Amino acid sequence: MGTVIVLGGTGFLGRRLVRRLVAAGETVRVAVRHPEAAQSALGTEGLAGVTVLRADLGDEAAVAAAVAGADSVVNSVSAYVERGGATFERVHVTGAAMLARTAAAAGVGRVVLVSGIGADPQSTSPYIRARGRGEAAVREAFPGATIARPGAMFGPGDALFGAVADFARLMPVLPLIGGDTRLQPVYVEDVAEAIAGMLADPGAAGRIYELAGPGVYTLRELIDIALRLMGRRRLLLPVPLGPAALLARWLELLPSPPLTSGQVDLLRADNVASGTLPGFRELGIAPKAVEDIVPSYIGRPGAAS
């Protein structure tokens, strides 16, 4: 793979990918908006052999400097809330396209864009639409780009089971938004392994991969799993999607909103693999099940966190 640039390398997925690439002996550069936060996100061990650069998808000169001399680029940058100039359009469409175009001009061999299952350029949701339009823009700028579409990712520090656990510790009643929506959660470490595999496989160029776990669950079932592991009972209060969307807009004013409009939009339809695109099987990976991983970080008091 040579030198790999990971944009968004301190995020939930990005930092796992960086650690995996470093462990494999790759030369890794992490390009982020806030380099000073890299050590706390990656840890001292994760930073060994990593060059951290300041780059923003709105700064073409900084991006060009970051990708210069690189063999591969992974764009794992994601915006779930629009703040100031960091709109969905700027991050997922124009910014992603600029990165792909800059990588092509620099002679980069491989580009991987992390998108998501359900990305749709025709969606009425600004978030989902931007994801879909971003995929098209990246492939136009870099025809050999690989698209990775993970499902809802889980693992320590996630916004899925971890959020349910946090709410359950504080509240006797839990809001249930889109309780019957079907999800196919995927272990974040499996996604990181898959992306590393895409970078190593010349045959992955130009392909779209759906990365979904082995099980399909309703959101209600996933919440029940978390509560059972915690040994707690909570009343689930169904909240219609309309009021949930309004609530999300208010919550987005918080520094770390527990619910966003994009998340509500994703719950309006099932978020599962289509079955028509390659995935883990083609990469030689057996994805781990929710039941195999979640008990290790969501459990009764005294369990591992």
pLDDT in tens, 164-199: 898 888 889 998 999 899 999 999 999 999 999 999
How many domains does the chain divide into?
1
Whether pTM exceeds 0.85: yes
Q: What is the pLDDT of residue 79?
A: 87
In contact, 46 and 26? CB cutoff 8 Å: no
- Per-residue pLDDT of 111-147, as tens digits, reads 999 999 999 999 999 999 999 999 999 999 999 999 9
Asked if residue 233 is part of any domain, the answer here is no
Mean pLDDT of 58-87: 91
CA atoms of 195 and 199, how far apart (whole Å): 6
Asked if residue 178 is part of any domain, the answer here is no
Query: Which tops the pLDDT comparison, 16 or 163?
Result: 16
Q: CATH no. for residue 113?
A: 3.40.50.720
Residue 250 CA, distance from chain mean position? 23
Q: What is the pLDDT of residue 72?
A: 97
Q: How confident is the model at residue 300 (pLDDT cuts 50, 70, 90)?
A: low
Using DSSP bridges, classify how beta strands 110-114 and 72-75 pair: parallel, antiparallel or unpaired. parallel
Asked if residue 282 is part of any domain, the answer here is yes
**Whole domain around residue 69: which residue ranges?**
3-154+185-213+273-287
CA atoms of 29 and 5, how far apart (whole Å): 5
